[in-house]
Structure formats: structure tokens, C-alpha cells
Amino acid sequence: MRGTPYADRGEAGRELAARLHRYRDVSGLIVLGLPRGGVPVAAEVAAVLDAPLDVLVARKLGLPSQSEVAMGAIAAVAGEIVTVTNPHVLRTLTDASSRSSGAFARVEERERVELARRQREYRGDRPPLRLEGATVMLVDDGLATGATMRAAITAVRAVNPAWVVAAVPVGARDSCREIEAMADDLECAWVPEPFWAVGQAYVRFDQTTDAEVKALLRGA
């Protein structure tokens, strides 16, 4: 098990790809990065596995008072948007404004607008992903609460893939267990103890830009 941080998402993707080599010759494999940070990782994985790269746009629904803590997430596939909640966070809210009945809906409405923008930005006029019967590998740069990955898996399941793989370079132990129960296969390269945040696993953890995502997709 790894004990030192990755230099950046590229190195993380290459190490993750080495652990996923069992999928190298799987017919119908599609690698989907979760924008933005998951796309540089997914690009390395897709290159090593010689698989097509695309994106599945998902958005975390952060607390109004602490945006990095996910109340849930939304994801888009085949023209539909799927919402999942994070019951643990919703149960333990201490911020009265976050507990108010309209807080979740307001955050979701805002993030749906951003999700639609990213869909247009990254996918343009390309048709919806055809995932039925495919082996779908969902890649992100890490699992904290796991809400975004849970939304992505739920969205993908709705279009009947043959097999769903979740793959991350780093994750919190409890979140990895939850995702392992949802996916057909999970590859989590590193489970640090203690786990504070995905960023602790990287020396360089700059925000990935829209331009970088589009360049990676064009390159693939």
C-alpha cells in the first residue's frame, strides 16, 4: 500500500492504471472521468488500457456553510439527471440554515445549472453516451464522502451496462466500502489512515480547468 503522496493526478492515473491491467483486453470497455479532477486521472487509465475516454458529468451538493462536505450529488447520463443524498451528512447537520427544508433544493437547483453548462462545455453536440451492455469504468481523483461516485454509479446503472467499475487513486475507508457495495468492482489504490481529504494524497492538487478537460478529451 502506498505511503507517500502522488506528485500529481497524472502520476496517480498511471499508478491506478497499472492496478487495472486486468481490464486491458476487455471488449466494450469505456473509461469515464468525473470532471473536473477525475479526467486527468482517467486519461492516463484510458491510454494504458487502450480504451475510449469520455466524461460523465456529476456535481457534488455541498453544505451551504461548508461546500466541501457533500449533502449529496447529481449526475447526468442518457439525457437524465440522477440525484443521490448523503444520509450521514444530512443527519448530522448542525447549521440551522443547512437543515432548513429549502437548503438542499436550492443547492441542487444551482448545481443543475452548472451541470448543464459543463455538459455543453465538455460534450458539445455529441450524442448521449451509449453505455448499455458496456463495461463502464468510472474514474475520479479520490473518494472523500463518495457522494459524487455514488451518483455516477446510480446514473450509469439506469442504462443497463454489463459491468460497472469504480476506480480511484485514494479514498476514505468507509467511502470505499460503500462504493464497493454499489459497483461490480472497485479499485482504490490507497486508503490512508487517517484520511482527512483527497488533497492529502497529492503534492500538486491544483484545480483542473475546463480547458484542460477539453484538451484531454480532444487528445483521447
**Domains in the chain: ranges and CATH:** 9-219 (3.40.50.2020)
Model confidence over 104-162: pLDDT tens digits?
Answer: 888 999 999 999 999 999 988 877 778 999 999 999 999 998 988 998 998 899 889 99
Instruction: Using the predicted structure, report yes or no on whether residue 184 has a pLDDT greater than 50.
Output: yes
Q: Kindly tell me the burial class for residue 218, based on how many C-beta atoms sit within 10 Å of its own C-beta (0-12, 13-18, 19 or more).
A: exposed
CA distance 130 to 205: 32
Q: What mean pLDDT value characterizes the chain?
A: 90
Q: Would the pTM of this model clear 0.75, i.e. be above it?
A: yes
| H runs (alpha helix) in 36-141 | 38-49, 87-91, 96-99, 103-123
Instruction: Using the predicted structure, report yes or no on whether residue 96 has a pLDDT greater than 70.
Output: no
pLDDT score recorded for residue 169: 98
Say what percent of the chain tops pLDDT 90: 65
E strand or H helix at 128, and its extent? none
pLDDT score recorded for residue 1: 62
Write b or e for each residue in 142-178: b if 16 or more Cβ atoms lie within 10 A of its Cβ, otherwise e.
Answer: bbbbbbbbbbbbbbbbebebebbbbbbbbbbeebbeb
163-168 and 185-188 strand pairing: parallel
Mean per-residue pLDDT, 47-63? 92
Mean per-residue pLDDT, 46-70? 89
CA distance 65 to 62: 8
